[in-house]
Structure 1
Amino acid sequence: MIKLFRNIRQNLLNEGKTSKYFKYAIGEIVLVVIGILIALQINNWNEKQKEQGKEQQILISLREEFKQNIKELEFDHDVNLSCINAIVMLLNFDETKSFETKTIDSLIGKIFNFATFDARQGVMNDIISSGNLELIKDSNLRYVLNQWTGELDDYEDDAVIRREYWINNVPPILYKFLPLRNADATMDREDYKRDILIPRIQVPKSNYDEFLSSLQVDNMLFDYYMNQSFVTTNEELIMTFLKETLELIENNIKQ
C-alpha cells in the first residue's frame, strides 16, 4: 500500500502536476491521521473492555467475600444473643422458688459461650493495596467500600473490652461457687466439639443459692451484660452495612 502511494506521488511529479501532488499529499496525510485515530479508538476500546473485565472479576470476588462475612456474622450474632439472654435470665432469676441446679449450669454454659466476628478481608485488602479500587466505576460503591475497615474498628474495640472483662472477672467469680465442668457439659455448638466429655459432679445446692444471692455475682453479670450488649449492637450495624454493600455490589455485576 505504501509503495502504491509512493508511485502515485512520483508519477504526479514526473508529469508536472504539482498542485495535484500537494492535494494528493494532503489527502494522504488526512488518511494517515484518520487511520491513527481509528487505531487509537480501537486500542482505547480494548483497554476499556479489559478494565471492565477486571472490574467484574473484582465485584464477583467481593460478592463472595461479603456473603461469607454475612454468614459468619449471623452465626456469631446468634451465639452472642443466646449469651445475653442467659445473662438476663440469671439477673432475673428468682432463687426463692424451687429450681433444678442443671438449669443454672445450662445458663452458665451459655454465658461462657460468646463469639467474636473475625471479618474476612483478603479480597478487600488486595484490591486496596493493588490500587484496583479505582476500577470500580460506581463512585457510591467505591466510597462505601472505603468505609469497610472503619466500620469494624468500633466493633473490634468493644470485642476486646468484652474479652478482657470476661477473662478478668467472669471465671474468677464463678469458680468460687460453681463447677465449670457442669456448665461445659451443657454447651452444644457446631464449632465446639470435644472428643472427651468430663462428667458432671455434684455440689451442695447451697452453692447455687449463694451464687444467685451474691451481690458480687449480680454486679459481675450486669457489667458483662453491658459489655456484651455493645458488641451485639455493633454486630447489627455491621450486618446492615454488609447487606447494603452486597446489594450495591450485586447491582454492578453484569448478568
Structure 2
Amino acid sequence: MLKLFRKVRKQLIAEKKFSNYLIYAIGEIFLVVIGILIALAIDNANDNRIKREKEQVYLKGLKEEFEISKIKLEELIKVNRRSYEAAQQIVLLMGKENEASEETFSNLLSDAFTNDIFFNPNNSLLNEMINSGSLKDITNDTLRIRLTNWISTIDDIANQEKMLGEERNNSVNVLRNEGYSIRTLLDYTGMSEKLGIPPNNNPVSNLGALESVAFENNILLFIITSQSTEIDHYNPLMYSLNSILENINAEIKE
C-alpha cells in the first residue's frame, strides 16, 4: 500500500499536477492519522480489558476475604455476648453468697473473663492493594471509599477492644489482689485436669468475692464496656461489612 502511495505521489510531481498532489498529500495525512487513532483505540481497548480482568480477580479475592471476616465477626459477637451475660449473672449473685455454689461461680467467672475479645479480619489482599496503589483499579467509587474506610474502622475497633481487655484484667486483678484463688476456679471448671495440675485438697473459696464492692465496681464497668463494644462498634462494623459485600457482589461479572 505504501509503495502504491509513493508511486502515485512521484507521478503527480512529475506531471506537475500540484493541486492534485496537495489533495493527495492531505488525504495521505488523513489516512495516517486515522490509522494512528485506530491503533490507539485498539491499545486502549486492550488496556481496559486487562484492567477489568484484573479488577475481577481483585473483587473475587476481596469477596472471599470479607466473607471469612464476616464469619469471624459473627462468632466474636457471640463470644462477647456470652462474656457480659455471664458477668451479669455474677452481679445478680452479689450479696447472695449463700445462694451460689463454688462450681456455679467458677464457671461464670470462666465464661466472663477467659476469652480475649479481638477481631482479626482477613485483610491481606486489601492491604496489598492499598500498599501497591491497586485500589484505584476498583471502578466503583462507593466501594473504593468503603474499602479505604474499612482500615481506619478496624483501628478504632482495636482501640475499643484494648479498653475492654483492660476492664477484664481489672476485674480479674481484684480476685488476685484480695486473696482469692485462681486454683479453685481451675479445679471447678475442669481446667486443672487439662493443664495436668492435681486438684487442691484444701481449696480456697472464692464466694467471698460476691461481697466485694471493688469486684462489683470492676465487673459493672466490664459489662458496660462489653455492651458498648457490641452496640457501638461491632454492630456498625457488621453493617459496613455487609455493605461492602453487597457492592462487591454487584460488581462481579459471572
Q: TM-score range by the shorter chain?
A: 0.7 to 0.9
After TM superposition, the structure 1 = structure 2 runs for residues 17-166 of structure 1, keeping only pairs within 5 Å, are 17-93=17-93, 95=96, 98-114=99-115, 115-166=117-168
Tell me the alpha carbon deviations over residues 78-112 of structure 1, each in whole angstroms, 9 at most, x when there is no partner.
11111011000110126366443211111111112
Q: What is the CA–CA distance in structure 2 between the aligned matches of 1:195 and 1:88, rounded to whole Å?
A: 27
Cα displacement (A) at 1:231? 2.2
Q: What is the CA–CA distance in structure 1 between the aligned matches of 2:184 and 2:208, rounded to whole Å?
A: 19
One-letter amino acid matched to 1:142: R
Q: What is the CA–CA distance in structure 2 between the aligned matches of 1:28 and 1:69, rounded to whole Å?
A: 61
Superposed CA RMSD: 2.5
Contact 2:136 2:144 in 1 (8 A): yes
Contact 1:80 1:113 in 2 (8 A): no
After TM superposition, the structure 1 = structure 2 runs for residues 176-215 of structure 1, keeping only pairs within 5 Å, are 176-180=179-183, 182-183=185-186, 186=189, 196-201=195-200, 207-215=205-213
In structure 1, the residue matched to 2:247 is 248
Change (3 A) 1:64 1:180: farther
Tell me the alpha carbon deviations over residues 24-73 of structure 1, each in whole angstroms, 9 at most, x when there is no partner.
22211111111111111111111111111221122122112211211111
Q: What is the CA–CA distance in structure 2 between the aligned matches of 1:36 and 1:225, rounded to whole Å?
A: 70
Q: Does 1:227 align with 2:228?
A: no
Q: What is the CA–CA distance in structure 1 between the aligned matches of 2:109 and 2:138, rounded to whole Å?
A: 48
Runs (4+) of structure 1 exceeding 6 A deviation are none
Cα displacement (A) at 1:210? 1.5
Contact 1:61 1:123 in 2 (8 A): yes
Change (3 A) 1:133 1:187: farther
- Number of residues of Structure 1 aligned to a counterpart in Structure 2: 248
One-letter amino acid matched to 1:240: Y
Q: SS at 1:211's partner residue?
A: helix
TM norm structure 2: 0.87
One-letter amino acid matched to 2:228: F
Once the two structures are overlaid, the 10-residue window that deviates more, 29-38 or 176-185, is: 176-185
- Unmatched 5+ residue regions in structure 2? none
In structure 1, the residue matched to 2:174 is 173
One-letter amino acid matched to 1:245: I
Contact 1:182 1:201 in 2 (8 A): no
Cα displacement (A) at 1:219? 1.3
Change (3 A) 1:112 1:197: farther
- Unmatched 5+ residue regions in structure 1? 189-193
Q: What is the CA–CA distance in structure 2 between the aligned matches of 1:221 and 1:113, rounded to whole Å?
A: 14
One-letter amino acid matched to 2:180: F
In structure 2, the residue matched to 1:11 is 11
Change (3 A) 1:216 1:247: same
Q: SS at 2:93's partner residue?
A: coil
Q: SS at 1:147's partner residue?
A: helix
In structure 2, the residue matched to 1:218 is 216
Cα displacement (A) at 1:198? 3.2
